Structure 1
Amino acid sequence: MSEAKANFDLNSAEERLEKRILVLGSAPHTRQISSYAWDRLPESLNVADYDVVILNLEPFLDQNFADNINIERFPSWQHFAKLVFSQGSELIIIGQPTIYIGKNPRINISMWLPPLLPELVVDSGEEIRNIDPEFTYYFKYVRRWFFHRTSNYIPNEYIWTHYLNLVHPQADDLGIRYHSLAQTRFQEDIAFRMKFQALGVAGGNFIDSQKPLAVLRISGDVICLPIPTEISAQEAVDLILQERYKLQFESTPPAWIEAYKLPHELPIEAEIDRCKDAIKQLEKELTAATIRLGEESRFRKLLYEQGEAALEPVVRDVLRELDAQVDEPKQPGKEDGRLIDLKQRRGMLEIKGLTHQLKLREVRQLDQWVRDALIDEDWESKGILIVNAFRNEPLGNRGEPFPLNCIQAAKKSEQCLITTIQLYNALCALQRGELNLEIFWDTIFSTSGVFSLPGLDLLCTNS
């Protein structure tokens, strides 16, 4: 690792005006930037999306706040690494960047910085000298310092290798260049700017090569500033936004200003209130209509669903819409429900959603259920087998749902074979006022084989 003092190429004011800025740790600021308090971070936040990120660490001086903050929403060190090593980026830190936050686990704010940082000593004093002219405006509000940097650098070995690999695949080491922004009486830095260098032997092996390390990538500026003593850190952020990035501010209206309104404001406010009330009413109506639509649209499951949990309940609901009394299965998996129609005729249900034609075993299974109910309960019924065959295919591409052996077996056992498409069309015809329910149920109970009723073989659509 290497260290050097050097002059920094400073971005011009014009370039700073075009930067996308994020503040973490205090809000609100000007509308021209994004800002969030530490306990209000959005889930989707990615600091690498910004050119400038300002960290206000003052809230973490409250130990209770620091211990109980939800660190799960905090940005990752990977995102900060991408930010720091983006061309022209700036990361400004107000406060000591070695604060521990959270509980089980705890994290150190320094993990957001490159894993080669100067050692910071907690101390205090009032003498501040050698202020960089670029930050004269800031140090007008700093009367005391509480930490300073040393010449020792502490590598973060936990993420060292991962960090280098993320910054550049051939990086083997980190270098650091620093510039003092303000010092103590003994020339110790209490504010400083850093640039980091990803070093390595491009195209070679660092261990075997005798080549000098090359600079593979250079970071943007990382600036560390003390928390001001004469204004709050939030006000200091505003000061930086105004002085460094030339952003224009409008003061946030104080609460007492609400008592002073011009006559023309009052009818406009009343109009706004009426609009809000109308919106609330429309939102209620929208919610209710959405619920009703969900209830009605569930019947379309007849055309594509399968199974005990999805298709069978919808089929039973449709039969109820068609004025049948339908009971839930007494023994799920053994029978799919029973019905009694308008003329008190009884039906035993078998409901199938298939990716193929009906199989003979389903016809035989339904016949067994009818026989069992008659023998065990003296419950005489007609077998009604409702099938959604080739359910994964568009309706126009589906093959014949009932093979000849199933039709012959259904005739012998006096079962009615009906498709869910026909059931869907029956419901559609009923809602249009075009279905004679008596004829529909007479046809069901008089059919031995495939159900057929004129008008129910063509798919009911919106046209």
Structure 2
Amino acid sequence: MPQSVKIVLVGAAGFDSRDSDKSVQCIEWDRLKNLGNIRDFDIVILNLLEGVPKTDWNLFHQKLNPSTMREILMNGGRIYVLGDPRFEVPSPKEGNFPFLTWTAMMFHWDDDAGDTKWINPYYQYRGYEDYLSKLSKWKYSLRAVEINKPVIWTLFNPDQFKKNQLYLDVEVEELAKNRYGCHLASIQHLVVRRRGDYGRSDKIALDFGPVILLPPTDRSANDEIMIVLRDLCGVEGQSPEPKWIEDFKVPGQRTLDEEITKVNAAIESQLSQLEAIQKEREKARECLRLLYERGKPLEEAVRNVLRSLGGKVEDPDDPGKEDGWITVQIGEVVYEGVLEIKSTTTEQFGEDGIRQLLDWVGRGISKRQKKYKGLFIGSNMTNKPLKERPWAFSDSWRKSIELHGFVAMKTEDLYGAYLLNSNGKLTIEEFWNKVFTTNGVLDTKFLQEKLSSKD
């Protein structure tokens, strides 16, 4: 039995419908809490036809981001953006970034207006004909689209791509363009291509579902939404109630309205509880980043776990230098160290990590007039499960770290210490004494003996 096609329309109300093969759920911009798992929908429609939405952008980023976009489009889904998407939205961390960042593509716009247009007459684009027929004037056009590399490589492993002769690209299908070739309406596909042999063209190895950009036209927003639902989604729907009729009351409506208010209040309360629990769960699982993250996210995870183990950790004041400074007091003894946090997809760590740690110790002497102990914390073969990762320290590497008086450990060793501490099985004093008195690779037998199979 074929599955029903699930459609979510974000930014509108009154178009909800359900039949045997299709369902439409409407979520207004100020009620994003009511939107469940966006990856569970086959079609996502974002309505921007009435201007820049007023919404909780942090919540929007949680719902639709490069990761959820990938899961929607890699599984046969598609996403429509209706209206002008050229605005910026607040970043979850700081500053602003383009609204369309969730696409993992960069869009280059031409902000000049005009009225010339060519609409693609090919048969496969006939579903867009009615929508675009009322595009008499336009305020912007799209010059070019390219991969947003810093974003896209959070979704894929660049080493695997290189190994398999793969690369990412954007294919654009033109629905409408102006007289100088810029797009007025277009379909964007992320594609994975495999490099061809000499003299042969590259082949598409993986084609994502489309992101379709449709501009505002002379019609009302509701009329355009109805056309999209009818012509592009196969949903025949009735018109939503106009604003002026909302004040009309029919017999029995008051009781129903009161029930709706109660149910909505209960839903809001449960959603708030769910959101709080989900945040607690995310916070509890942050320690798992020690086992797979790379770069800055790994550095942040390591520093946070070191703090949970009683270390006073300073974030780096220069992002291009050391990865942090740590102070630990055990009784009257004060230990001080400088951090080098390293991740690699190779089997063993390279000498560059030791050289960097030497530099950081030197910076401690020149900048702080102290000799800090070098702490190397690393993760090897981050693209493999823990059981498939080999011994990370070569004999020459291990000997070098010993001679310099540094200590080295794996991020999974630190994770083991975190688990023991959380379960009340770790002696903090013993852990830090062993870390700071070891010259070489930390012997973690004292941790392994306390870890159970459940841990």
Q: TM-score per shorter chain, which class?
A: 0.3 to 0.5
Structure scoring higher RCO (CA < 8 A, sep ≥ 6) equals 1
Give 1 or 2 for the bigger CA radius of gyration.
1
